[in-house]
Amino acid sequence: MLVHSSREAGLLQESEERLLRRVFDFSDISVQAVMQPRVDVDGVPVDLPLPLLLHRIAAQHHSRYPVYEGSMDHIVGILHTKDLFDAIIRQPETLTTGAGLDLRAILREPLFIPATIGVDKVLEKMQRTQTHLAVVMDEYGGVAGIATMEDIIEELVGEVEDEFDDEGMAYDTADSTDIVEGLVSLNEITERFGQPGGEPRSTTIGGYIAERLERIPDTGDKVSFGDYDVIVEEMDGLRVARVRFARRANKPDSLPSSPLGAPAIET
């Protein structure tokens, strides 16, 4: 309320209001809401041959990789590409023979955290342990995903993109539509498009659509989100890959309520 009043009084710029709201909400956000889900984690098997490992690094552009033995539920360490390249410089013959490099010897200790912990606590742990990547565990002891310091900082300052990042949102104001990746968080979505109504349990826009539909979405499915229609543009297997937000020309006076208390799904 104080932040909104200050904004209305002209004491805060819009960007300052947005930052303050993010600061106040920071401790209420769980790491599960900002993590990269397991299906999107580029893990590395500990016995991957060096040429294939280098090819993967060149293609994916990550600076850190979780390294696993057998399956992603058994992560044995975190590989920093800097450590790998330093080891290759010390043992250049590994580039030609592919032998002699002990990957386990250069792995760093992983930071394991529960999925229910808040991002503020995760940031404290990262600062204390001087690590930029945490492995998020579910309640059954399996790997739910990973969270990076960048993921957490973005909850405060907004999207931080480097030259290798894919664009999460693309605004096309010419026809009042916006293309959005399915994994964009609901926190970011509500900042851009307002509140959907009700109390969704999902943490991403793709999850929200599935929650509203009560089934796995399909291309062309449409749900309401405040003053917008959200249309599934692309699926990646069983996951929503890309959606389109289209502002409705005239907001209906009333629509039947959905289980979430938002306008009913349109067909």
Non-local CB neighbours of 265 within 8 Å, separated by 6+ positions: 212, 213, 222, 223, 224, 258
For the chain, give the mean pLDDT.
Answer: 82
pLDDT of residue 75: 97
Q: Where in the chain is the domain with CATH 3.10.580.10?
A: 31-156
pLDDT tens for 88-103 read 998 888 777 666 688 9
pLDDT at residue 135 greater than cutoff 90: yes
Q: Strands (DSSP E) along the chain, which ranges?
A: 36-37, 44-45, 64-68, 75-80, 111-114, 133-137, 143-148, 169-172, 177-181, 222-225, 228-236, 239-247
Residue 201: band (very low, low, confident or very high) from pLDDT cuts 50, 70, 90: confident
CB atoms within 10 A of CB 135: 22
pLDDT of residue 199: 83
Mean pLDDT of 244-253: 74
Work out the percent of the chain whose per-residue pLDDT is above 90. Answer: 46
The reported pTM is 0.65
CATH class of segment(s) 169-247? alpha beta
Q: Where in the chain is the domain with CATH 3.30.465.10?
A: 169-247
pLDDT of residue 177: 73
pLDDT of residue 5: 59
pLDDT of residue 16: 59
Work out the percent of the chain whose per-residue pLDDT is above 70. Answer: 75
pLDDT tens for 223-237 read 999 999 999 999 988
CATH for 31-156, among 3.10.580.10, 3.50.50.60, 3.20.20.70, 3.90.600.10?
A: 3.10.580.10
What is the side-by-side order of every strand in the sheet holding 143-148? Answer: 36-37, 143-148, 133-137, 111-114
pLDDT tens for 164-188 read 555 555 544 445 678 999 988 888 8
Mean pLDDT of 32-57: 91
pLDDT: which is higher, 89 or 251 = 89
pLDDT at residue 77 greater than cutoff 70: yes
pLDDT of residue 264: 47
